Every structure is written in C-alpha cells, then in structure tokens.
C-alpha cells in the first residue's frame, strides 16, 4: 500500500484542504489564454461602438432590488427565481444591465446634457439558472442602449451595429425580428391569446399553464414540443398591432432592407423581460445548440418614465460574451486565443550581465516592445527553455564573458540563425540597435507600438 512518509504528511493535508476550495458552480475562472480572446471580443465591440457614436458607462453590480422588480417585471423568471438577492439588505446583484443603466441615466439627469444618448457597458451579470454549456450563473454581457430616439431608423441602426460586431468577429448569426406592440394594442392581443391558450390548458406544460395567467406571451416561446406545436395556430401579435406600431414596424423593416441587413420575422419571439415594446430582436447562432441566442434586445419606450424618469423612448441589446467565445472556439479560431509573442528574451549569465540586461529590458518595454529576462541566474539551457515558453522572437545571450569580449549572441528563435551582437558602444546604443532589429523583422502592418505610433 502507498504510504505517505511522516515528514510529507503536513504537505498532503494542506494540499487536500486546498483541493476542496473550488469556484462556485456556475461561476467560472477565465484563464490567461482565454482572456486574450475576451480582450479581442471587447476591443472589436468597442471599436464598432465608437464608429456608431457610443460612449462607455460603467455601473455598479448591485442595485436596490426594487429597480429590477419594477423594470424586468415581477412575474418574469428572472425576478421570480433567478436573482441573487440579499433579502435583509434589500439589494440584488444585477441580472442584466439595462435597468441599472437607466437608473444612472435618470439619477444624473443625462438627458439634460444631450437629448439622445448612445451608451454601452460591458460587465458581469448574475442569474441563478441551471449551469450548462453557454449558461452560467455569472456571465458577461456587452450592452448597447440608445435613449431618447423613437425613429424606426434607429432600431435598424442598432440591429445593424449588433450584426456588425458579430461579423467583424468572423462569426455568423441570423437576425430575427418581431414587434410586441405597445400598451395600446398589446392588452387586446394578450386577451385573445389567453382565450386561445385556455382551450388547451390540459395539453400545455406545467410552466405554461401557470404562464397563461401570469405572463401569457412567454408561452409563445416555450421550448417544449407540445407547447411549440399548440402555439402555431395561436393568434399572431403582428395582426393585432395598432396603426402606429404597424407603421413603425414596417419602417424598421424598410430601414433594415435599405442597410442590406438580412433578417427574418419571428412572430413567436417574446422576451423574458416585461419592459419591451414594439421592436424586439435576437441574434441566433445555430452552431450553439440549445443556447442559441448570442444577443437579444428591443425597444422599451415606457420604461424610463416607469422608473421615475422623463418620458423618453429607448432601445438596446445585450450580447453574451461566453456564447461569442464558444462560437469562436467551435469555429476553431485559435489565433484569437494566442498571447502576444515576446519580442526579445535576454538570457543573462552572471551578475554584471544581469544588471545590463535589466536596463535593456526596461528600455525596450518603454519603447513598446514585449521584453523579458530571467533573474534566477539559471543555466543557459534552462533560460533558453523559458525563452521558448514565452514564444520569444529573438533571444540575446548575454554573459559576463560576452561583456568582456564586447560581443553577445542574438538568436532568431524561428529560423535558429545566430548573429554576433556588438557591445562596443554604450548600453544606450545596444538598445537602439536592438529596437532596429526587432522592428525591421516585424511584418509591415505590425510596425506600430501599443499606442499606434510607428516604431
Ligand atoms: P436565453 O434565452 O438563452 O435564456 P435570455 O433571453 O435570458 O437568453 P437576455 O436576458 O436577453 O437573454 O440576455 C442577452 C444575452 O445574454 C443572451 O442572448 C445570451 O447570449 C446571454 N445570456 C443570458 N443569460 C445567460 C446565462 N445564464 N449565461 C450565459 N449567457 C447568458
Ligand atoms: Mg434566460
């Protein structure tokens, strides 16, 4: 039998204790290699946002519970069972961003400075759902909102922007659009839908039987096969729209056509949040299986007023970053997940060499290069291994011997060619010389530093 020696026992006990500490189910670490992919997604989204005139807003992740109950709706799944609420403190971890964003918009009287605000925010959301592929309890969204504009062209513009983010990521998703009407025309539709559903009460799933009374529109997008089949013959919301909503929806479609944005109408699409009016939309990626929505949004024309703000319309969407990441992985998109190469690694051998190396590394970093060295004084072999791990383009082998003879070795790690590197001038010139080599060996399009200056 395997027996742990006494002197190692404390170590094993500690390790075992640590092994028990894991992230909470549904909460996930995003490790460095994956973070690169996230940063790319975020920077592409930010780039598109800036082109469309959006400004960033950063919001707290906790709000008073009432904000979500009043906006998302008391009878929605999110508010009924998915929120992380500290009941004794009356606060909740946000399950979505629109409510918080509008709270901030109202609180700071932002409409006074500018009648139409285009805002985006990126960050974590929290919902107590059953964790599975593409569904977490802490997940991250990219949110975009346009507040103060009622024109149907704006609906088309924001959908086109969402589609642009997806396509600039190299992904495909189809856009599905619907109109949910307004407080004028929706009650009549709701009534005719309830009347229809009640006839089939016995055939609906338990959830939908409950929803028929509390939130009947939700039955329209139930995923259970029986409910799905039953709603095929249910009244269509699109036939119940009042003239204003009908005309608005027609103009949204015309504007999408004008911008050459492909879409399909899905009259069964409703959203899990009560605040939506008129245009609603989803970006569906069929490669994602069950969790197929990468993004979703719509208009919320009465919401700002409902939250105690001015009477202003709004429209927005949210995209799930985890689902975008899954799509990129499924596409086999590896380049996005790669850390940036190290431009130069210095293998320093000896005390003096290490001092010079640290000056060189610092100087190169100041000039926008990714440079590294090892302070441990390990063997050349060990340091070369480290250079490999850091994916270095070049390694400078600099020892006390080389300092004495005033010549070091510069190794091109890709083609393994080595050249002598003169140490005759002052160290400041060594850095200049290295900068030149590192720049001219880069492909032309990469010859700018981190802030875009030519190097
Ligand atoms: P779903 O139908 O997948 O539950 P939803 O309608 O609840 O989505 P929204 O509240 O509209 O989603 O959020 C917008 C986007 O956020 C979704 O399209 C999805 O990409 C992402 N998202 C929502 N919930 C989760 C979750 N629990 N885990 C990961 N991503 C999520
Ligand atoms: Mg959901």
* pLDDT tens sequence across 181-195: 999 999 999 999 999
Query: What average pLDDT does this structure show over 205-232?
Result: 92
pLDDT of residue 428: 81
**Residue 39, pLDDT above cutoff 60:** yes
CA distance readout (Å), 300 to 83, 136, 160, 180, 306: 21, 26, 18, 10, 10
CB atoms within 10 A of CB 157: 21
pLDDT of residue 455: 42
Q: Give the residue among 155, 136, 147, 127 at the shortest CA–CA distance from 61.
A: 127
pLDDT category at 33 given cuts 50, 70, 90 is confident
Atom number, ligand 1, closest to the C-alpha of residue 295:
18
Contact yes or no for 356/398 (Cβ under 8 A): yes
pLDDT of residue 451: 42
Residue whose CA is closest, atom 26 of ligand 1?
Answer: 135
Ligand 1 centre from 320 Cα, in Å?
Answer: 6
Mean pLDDT, the chain, integer = 91
pTM given for the model: 0.86
**Residue 19, pLDDT above cutoff 70:** no
**Residue 13, pLDDT above cutoff 80:** no
**Residue 3, pLDDT above cutoff 80:** no
d(CA 203, CA 200): 5
Ligand 1 centre from 1 Cα, in Å?
Answer: 51
pLDDT category at 290 given cuts 50, 70, 90 is confident
Query: What average pLDDT does this structure show over 205-210?
Result: 92
Ligand 1 centre from 372 Cα, in Å?
Answer: 41
Convert the pLDDT of each residue in 244-269 to its tens digit. Answer: 999 999 999 999 999 999 999 999 99
Token digits of residue 400 = 């006390």
Ligand 2 centre from 126 Cα, in Å?
Answer: 11
Atom number, ligand 1, closest to the C-alpha of residue 294:
20
pLDDT category at 11 given cuts 50, 70, 90 is low
pLDDT of residue 95: 97
pLDDT of residue 273: 77
Atom number, ligand 1, closest to the C-alpha of residue 318:
14
**Residue 384, pLDDT above cutoff 70:** yes
- Site to substitute for ligand 1 among 81, 141, 162, most atoms within 8 A of C-beta: 141
pLDDT of residue 445: 55
Residue whose CA is closest, atom 18 of ligand 1?
Answer: 295
Residue whose CA is closest, atom 16 of ligand 1?
Answer: 320
pLDDT of residue 215: 87
Cβ(175) to ligand 1 under 6 A? no
Lowest mean pLDDT among 15-29, 182-196, 299-313, 416-430: 15-29
Cβ(316) to ligand 1 under 6 A? no
Report the b/e string of 307-345 with b at 16+ CB within 10 A: bebeebbbbbbbbbbbbbbbbbeeeebeebbeeeebbbb
Residue whose CA is closest, atom 22 of ligand 1?
Answer: 320
Cβ(272) to ligand 1 under 6 A? yes
Q: 214: helix, coil or strand?
A: helix
30, 33, 36, 41: CA torsion to nearest 10: -60
DSSP H helices in 132-219: 152-168, 186-199, 206-214
CB atoms within 10 A of CB 420: 11
d(CA 248, CA 266): 16
Which helix (H) or strand (E) segment holds residue 318: the answer is: strand 314-320
pLDDT of residue 240: 95
- Site to substitute for ligand 1 among 123, 287, 288, 318, most atoms within 8 A of C-beta: 318
Cβ(251) to ligand 1 under 6 A? no
Convert the pLDDT of each residue in 60-116 to its tens digit. Answer: 999 999 999 999 988 888 998 999 999 999 999 999 999 999 999 999 999 998 989
**Residue 17, pLDDT above cutoff 80:** no
Ligand 1 centre from 280 Cα, in Å?
Answer: 14
Alpha carbons within 13 A on the beta-carbon side of 434: 36
Ligand whose nearest atom lies closest to the CA of 128:
1
pLDDT of residue 15: 58
Backbone angles phi, psi at 297, to 5 degrees: -175, -165
d(CA 77, CA 271): 11
Cβ(128) to ligand 1 under 6 A? no
pLDDT of residue 452: 47
pLDDT of residue 182: 94
Q: Give the residue among 340, 430, 348 at the shortest CA–CA distance from 393.
A: 340
- Site to substitute for ligand 1 among 72, 136, 139, most atoms within 8 A of C-beta: 139
Ligand whose nearest atom lies closest to the CA of 295:
1
pLDDT of residue 287: 77
Cβ(318) to ligand 1 under 6 A? yes
């Amino acid at each position: 039998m395997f027996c742990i020696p006494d002197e190692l026992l404390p170590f094993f006990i500690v390790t075992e204790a640590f092994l028990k500490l894991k992230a909470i189910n549904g909460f996930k670490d995003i490790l460095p290699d994956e973070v690169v992919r996230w940063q790319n997604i975020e920077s592409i989204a930010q780039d598109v946002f800036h082109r469309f005139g959006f400004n960033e807003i950063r919001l707290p992740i906790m709000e008073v519970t009432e904000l979500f109950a009043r906006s998302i709706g008391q009878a929605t799944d999110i508010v009924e069972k998915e929120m992380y609420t500290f009941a004794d403190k009356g606060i909740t971890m946000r399950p979505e961003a629109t409510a918080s964003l509008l709270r901030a918009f109202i609180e700071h009287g932002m409409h006074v400075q500018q009648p139409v605000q285009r805002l985006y925010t990126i960050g974590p959301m929290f919902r107590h759902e059953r964790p599975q592929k593409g569904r977490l309890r802490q997940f991250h969204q990219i949110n975009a909102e346009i507040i103060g504009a009622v024109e149907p062209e704006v609906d088309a513009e924001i959908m086109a922007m969402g589609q642009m983010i997806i396509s600039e990521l190299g992904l495909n998703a189809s856009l599905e659009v619907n109109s949910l009407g307004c407080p004028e025309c929706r009650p009549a539709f709701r009534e005719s839908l309830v009347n229809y559903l009640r006839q089939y009460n016995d055939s609906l799933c338990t959830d939908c039987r409950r929803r028929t009374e509390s939130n009947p529109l939700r039955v329209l997008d139930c995923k259970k096969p029986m409910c799905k089949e039953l709603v095929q013959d249910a009244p269509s919301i699109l036939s119940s729209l009042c003239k204003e909503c009908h005309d608005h929806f027609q103009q949204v479609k015309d504007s999408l056509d004008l911008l050459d944005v492909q879409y399909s109408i899905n009259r069964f699409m409703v959203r899990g949040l009560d605040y939506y009016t008129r245009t609603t939309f989803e970006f569906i990626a069929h490669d994602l299986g069950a969790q197929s929505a990468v993004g979703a949004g719509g208009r919320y024309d009465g919401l700002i007023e409902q939250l105690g703000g001015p009477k202003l319309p709004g429209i927005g969407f949210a995209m799930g970053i985890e689902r975008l990441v899954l799509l990129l992985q499924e596409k086999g998109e590896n380049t996005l997940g790669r850390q940036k190469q190290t431009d130069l690694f210095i293998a320093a051998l000896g005390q003096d060499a290490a001092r010079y190396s640290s000056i060189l590394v610092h100087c190169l970093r100041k000039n926008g290069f990714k440079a590294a060295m090892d302070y441990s004084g390990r063997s050349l072999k060990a340091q070369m291994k480290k250079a490999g791990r850091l994916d270095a383009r070049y390694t400078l082998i600099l020892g006390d011997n080389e300092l004495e003879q005033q010549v070091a070795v510069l190794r091109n790690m890709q083609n393994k060619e080595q050249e002598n590197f003169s140490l005759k001038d002052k160290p400041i010139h060594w850095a200049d010389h290295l900068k030149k080599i590192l720049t001219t060996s880069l492909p032309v399009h990469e010859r700018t530093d981190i802030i875009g200056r030519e190097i």
